[in-house]
Structure formats: C-alpha cells, structure tokens
Homo-oligomer: A and B are copies of this chain.
Amino acid sequence: MASSEIEALTQALARLPGLGPRSARRAVLHLMKKRETALDPLLRALSAVSERLATCHVCGNVDTTDPCAICADPRRDGRALCVVEEVADLWALDRARLFPGRFHVLGGRLSALEGVRPEDLRIDALVARVADGGVDEVVLAMNATLEGQTTAHYIAERLERFPVRLTQLAHGLPVGGELDYLDEGTLAQALRARRPVA
C-alpha cells in the first residue's frame, strides 16, 4: 500500500549495512514524521557528499576533496606511510587518531581464491610513492588473515630495495580478526608495539 516513492526509499535504506527491511521501514517512518529534524538534514548531507564525492588520487581514500583531507593536511608526517587494505581500515585508524602519518589504501588483498592479483590493487602506486622519496617508514597494517599477511609479504618484497623501514602491526590482533572491527585500545596497542618485518 506504500507509494512507490516510499517503497524505493525503504529499499535503498534496507541495503545499507546494519539495516534490514524492518529497521528501514522504521527509519522511513521516522524521516517522514520528522521532516525538519530528520529528513531535510539527511537529504542536505547526502546531496553535499554526492556533489563532492571523490577518490583521493594520492592515497585511495574516499572524501569530499581530492587530495583527501589527510593527504592535504600539512601537519601530517609524510615520512610515515600506513598501508591498509580498505578505506574502512583507514577510517578506523584515523578515527582513533592513532597514526600521525599518511595512508595508502590498496583496495583489497591478494587472493588466489578470488583471483585478486597484485595489478588489481594499488601496489604500483604505493611503490611509486616510496620511490619518489621522503618516506622513512612504511607500516603494513593488513588484516591478521592469511590473505592479509600474504599481501604484506608481497609488498615487503616489492619495497625491499628502498631505504625505508618496514613495520607491521604487532600480532596482538586476534587471529582472523578484521582491523575495522577492533576496539581502539587493541588497535592502539598493536600500533605501539609494531615491529620490523622479519
């Protein structure tokens, strides 16, 4: 009985992570009942992000500017580069204000099973950033999964010939754990105890 517009909105919300059909319906109802305080602010915010949405050509972050706010921030220490699999991982580390350097997003991890090869990730771009100089340390902040660690080893090999210190997150990470799901305390500890790649 709901109009096609309401149905479309419900479905669009239901596809967001963390929302199902039931909570989407409640959200739509909330939006329609609270036009000034809920619907209009969400519409404005969504429009603003949509208009400015950009992928940073330097680090692969998504933001409303290119370069992203992190790459453009002069207070960031460009000599330290933290390499992560996904944008979500960058956000998790940045949210906790744990890392004062810059980031590099690979856009995934090597996977024989899923057919993800080095050229499918932003690895050449990482090597180019390091080759350009000015980088002293590269933190390999992959997930503590088999594929994450394989990716870290592959990158370590590719960066071997450069005069940079390669480190990785301390393995206080739970085995099989996804970086993005960890609490800030665990992340902070793992980062503090980072060690050279063997």
Contacts and interface: CB of A to CB of B under 8 A. Distances in A.
Interface of A: 1-3, 5-6, 8-9, 11-13, 15-19, 23, 25-33, 35, 38-50, 52-53, 62-65, 69-70, 73, 87-88, 91, 94-95, 97
B8 A45 contact: yes
A9 B49 contact: yes
B88 A29 contact: yes
A40 B33 contact: no
A26 B177 CA distance: 17
A16 B38 contact: yes
Q: Chain copies in the assembly?
A: 2
B16 A49 contact: no
Nearest to A46: B43
Given A27-B19, A29-B91, A45 B12 contact: yes
B49 A62 contact: no
A91 B31 CA distance: 14
Nearest to A7: B45
Of A39, A41, A46, most B-chain CB atoms within 10 Å: A46
A19 B17 contact: no
Contact of A53 (B39, B45, B97): B39
A44 to B, nearest CB: 8
Contacts of A44: 8
A93 B30 CA distance: 17
A141 to B, nearest CB: 16
A12 B41 CA distance: 6
